Amino acid sequence: MPENRPQNWIWLVPVLLLVAVLGVRSLNADMLWVDEVFSIGNVGGYQGPAYNPLQVWESLSQNSPQHVPGYFFVLGGWAALTGWTAFGLRALSLLFGLLAVAWTYRLGADWMSPRAGLYAALVVGIGAFYLYFTHEVRMYTMIAFLTVFVLWAYSRVIGPGVPRRPAASASTVPAQFSTYQPNMGYWLAFAVGALALLYTHLFGALVLAAIGLYHLLFVPKNRRWWVVVLILGVVGLSILPWLQVLLQGVRNVGLGEEPLPPLSILTEMLHLFSSGNGVGFALLAVFAAVGLVMRRRGSLEVWLFLIVIFMLTLIANEVRPMISEGRTRYLIHLWPLLALLIALGLTMLERTRYRVLALPLLAVWLGFGLGNTFNQQFLIDMDGPRYVKDYPPLREIVTATNQQAQPEDMLVTFSRQWHVFNIFRFFTVGTYHVQDLISDGHYITLPETRSAEEVRAALQGALGTRLTVWLAYEPITPADELAPYRTIIEEKYTLCETAAQQPGFVLERYTLTAVGCVDLTEPDTALVQYPAGIELRDIRAVAQGDQLLVAAAWTVDEAVPANTYSVSLKLWPADAAADSADGFVAQLDDGLRRAGYGWQLQTMPLADVPPGEYALTVTLYDWSTGERLTGSSIDGSQGDELPAATVMIEAE
């Protein structure tokens, strides 16, 4: 692989493709967690249009004042383009992740060599921790990208030949530095990048502070020096409109767990960055230190920026604790610089008699990264994974239910994780993931904290009188925790079948006991056929108290226009003529079901209907015109009022 040829960037393409493949596989691999819900809620939720920047500013100031609004501006625009799917929203994080990999290569090539840049791109991109955040609807890959982008833009505006020792003037610097004139694009990139970095995360200010320190100590005080100072000053002042909101938010938001001490932060950072390959990191860091001692090109920048930004991070964490075992994500702005350190170590190793070990060490590093990317236990103590692992498989439950349920049905399901069905702000995690459920839902968090009376009232109120209730639960749920809910359901419903049984969930179908278990398979014959593509396949009518429960199975062709036809059911004394205007004793009219096959439960009042035998007839008509359709019954008779069932009303 040639070291300094322009074609060297070609090798970056397969690296980006590999990172993209690994990232895409995770975009829809798990459910959103609470922080992602906050991100979506702050830009408009998921049911309406995305917020404009002013609305985002207002939402964030009220709901998440501890954050700065830059990422949310971008997310709102992205949602307006891609919609509210988890895949589409998470793709923004993958995009920033890929950009960070690309600019890590670019910065490494500028500071050290194209080969070092390629090594750094591989190291940062193929890491379990980094790849995880390429699929989270949060700002972390954006700050990683902006960190490396701003450092790259800064190196372009200050120019080549910067002394490797403190300098106070331009009198002793190389000629190429004194005559260098960056184009306007580099100045614009540095200014916009610095502004975006500061408005993406609080720790973006630490990166800018490190640039300021380096600029003060190492860059000659010429005209370009003052322009950089002016840009950094203007960018710093730009945060003033948000500063009061930010300070209030930082004061009011607690960490919620024990913060890590500095040494633990260091060890945890190195463990996560190396994907558990601590020995490999230590070995290559030694060679990188040798590079600093030997004043190799770019070694000062790598070490200085890494150490200064890390130390500033520790100081900021002491002032306002943010980093805990579950919140190591706040260190991700250091990832590109850590990757450049490893790349420096690899290139230094290649200059020694042990150069043959460089590529095997890189291969081992990538092996750890890939291996722990697929190891669900590696990040299990981190916020996100430690919650999501206990989430019920709601998406799979919804898919299985939708394959068999009707809109009038009820799904009852559970979560062992409090985050899922309990709202923090905006909407719940569960609400987002059941938005495509075609039936109603009743959602319960286990273990139960309500009284038995509260549980009964809530569940009975949700069930009402429906033909079918679906009960979904995880197999690991203790039977005694499910028992109270089964008892309440079985007061009116009968367990008919286990409709789906998967490793992650069980789905059971209950049917109203008074009607009995109905067959969800479409019968071969029809009781009544209509020429419009509508067929009555089955019907059950049961008198219960002062009402008649009628469950009818209809087949409606896709070509039948929706919301056009209504069904009229009439109850006639057994000896009355169906064409007698005054013969029927009860009537029920309701809209025809949607296209497809399924059962529909209707309730007919029976006030003042005496005991006896009755005939139930069916009429189909266009509700807008009143025109009746002529049907054909299974016995060959035709008409617009056809017998469908016999009903016996018993004396109480």
**136 DSSP 8-state letter:** S
Examine the domain organization and report whether 279 and 338 are in the same domain: yes
**Whether residues 340 and 196 fall in one domain:** yes
pLDDT at position 531 is 86
199 and 276 co-located in one domain: yes
Segments forming the whole domain that contains residue 462: 394-512
Tokens of 442: 């009743």
Residue 60 is predicted with a pLDDT of 94
Q: What is the mean pLDDT of residues 173-187?
A: 74
Report residue 332 CA to chain centroid gap.
20
Residue 585: beta bridge partners? none
Half-sphere exposure of 197 (CA within 13 A, CB side): 29
Based on the fold, state whether residues 137 and 277 are members of the same structural domain: yes
What are the pLDDT digits (tens) for 39-70? 999 999 888 899 999 999 999 999 999 899 99
Domain CATH for 537? 2.60.40.2550
Question: Judging by DSSP bridges, how do beta strands 493-501 and 638-639 pair with one another?
Answer: unpaired
Q: What pLDDT shows up at residue 7? A: 62
Dihedral pair phi/psi, residue 187, rounded to 5°: -60, -45
Let me know if residue 211 belongs to a domain: yes
Do 551 and 487 share a domain, yes or no? no
Q: What is the pLDDT of residues 198-220, one digit of tens each?
A: 999 999 999 999 999 999 999 99
- Asked if 44 and 77 sit in the same domain, the reply is yes
Tell me if 388 is assigned to some domain: no
Alpha helices of 113-182 — where are they, by DSSP H? 114-125, 128-133, 140-158, 175-179
Alpha-carbon distance of 652 to 554, in angstroms, equals 32
Give the pLDDT of residue 163.
Answer: 47
Average the pLDDT over 266-293 and give the result.
Answer: 96
Residue 15, in any domain of the structure: no
Task: Give mean pLDDT, residues 287-299.
Answer: 95
Alpha-helical (H) ranges within 350-451 are 358-373, 385-388, 394-402, 429-433
pLDDT above 60 (res 256):
yes
Q: Mean of the per-residue pLDDT values for the chain?
A: 92
Determine the pLDDT at residue 577.
Answer: 57
Span 476-534, pLDDT tens digits: 999 999 999 999 999 999 999 999 999 999 999 999 999 999 999 999 999 999 988 99
Closest C-alpha among 366, 302, 374 to residue 14: 366
Mean pLDDT of 221-248: 92
Shared domain for 507 and 536, answered yes or no, is no
Predicted confidence (pLDDT) per residue in 321-353, tens digit: 889 988 999 999 999 999 999 999 999 999 999
- Whether residue 113 has pLDDT greater than 80: yes
357 and 504, same domain (yes or no):
no
Last residue of a domain, one of 479, 512, 545: 512
Distance, in Å, from the CA atom of 270 to the CA atom of 330, rounded to the nearest integer, reads 14
Number of domains in the chain: 3
CB 601 within 8 A of CB 549: yes
Token readout for 538 is 């089955």
Secondary structure percentages of the chain, helix, strand, coil, to 5: 45, 15, 35
Q: Tell me whether residue 68 is in a domain.
A: yes
Cβ atoms 647, 543 nearer than 8 A: yes
C-alpha neighbours within 13 Å on the C-beta side of residue 456 = 9
Distances (CA, A) of 308 to 142, 144, 229, 393, 608: 21, 16, 19, 44, 87
| Range with lowest mean pLDDT among 127-136, 247-256, 266-275 | 247-256
Give the pLDDT mean for 160-185: 61
Q: Point out the domain boundary residue: 485, 512, 539.
A: 512
Asked which of 481, 512, 543 is the last residue of a domain, the reply is 512
Question: Which residue do the tokens 């891609």 mark?
Answer: 82
For residues 541 and 415, membership in a common domain is answered with: no
Radius of gyration of the chain (CA): 34
Q: Is residue 485 domain-shared with residue 581, that is, in the same domain? A: no
Residues 616 and 542 in one domain: yes
CA angle at residue 261 from 259 to 264, to 5 degrees? 105
| Dist CA 327 CA 254 (whole Å) | 12
Residue 269: inside a domain: yes
d(CA 400, CA 532): 31
Indicate if 462 and 343 belong to the same structural domain.
no
Q: Give CA torsion, residues 191, 194, 200, 206, to 10 deg.
A: -160
β-strand 410-415 against 468-473: which pairing, if any?
Answer: parallel
**Span 137-169, pLDDT tens digits:** 999 999 999 999 999 999 999 986 554 455 544
Over range 171-188, report the average pLDDT.
Answer: 73
Residue 300 forms part of a structural domain:
yes
**Does residue 244 lie within any of the structural domains?**
yes
Q: Calculate mean pLDDT across residues 280-284.
A: 97
Task: Give domain status of residue 576, yes or no.
Answer: yes
